[in-house]
Structure 1
Amino acid sequence: MRGYDFFSELVDAGIVEDRDEVPRELAEETWRRIGNDVLAYMDEVHIGFRPPGRPIWAERKFGPANARR
């Protein structure tokens, strides 16, 4: 699942019409809201396994989840 962005699910949910045109503002707002939960989940899921490389995409694009702009 590494590298999967879930943007197609936004289309299925009716949030956006085109998975390739997800608004940056929506992505950043979501990262700020749930980013720490995402990172904690990733840590939990990978106990005993090699974790994904960091920083993940959202960290590279938007910075730490708890940082406000």
Structure 2
Amino acid sequence: MTARRDSYQSFLDMIGLSGEDIDPFEVLARTWGTRVTDRIQVLPVPKVDAAGRLRMRFLVHGGRHVD
């Protein structure tokens, strides 16, 4: 999504980003940047939290199919 769109700030809020210098690769990592023509997926690198657990954000596909 281009930063010129009126809804760009709402989009950033929705994916948990804020600030002036938004890294385009962080946006791709959080949204997966998927389009019908995409042939690759970009995922974030898991981070270790204070408790030593790996943490990362990811999108879930097919959730409506789970019983």
Same fold at TM > 0.5: no
Using the size of structure 1 for normalisation, the TM-score is 0.30
Q: Which has the larger radius of gyration?
A: 2
Q: TM-score, normalised by structure 2?
A: 0.30
Q: Which has the higher contact order (CA 8 A, sep 6+)?
A: 1
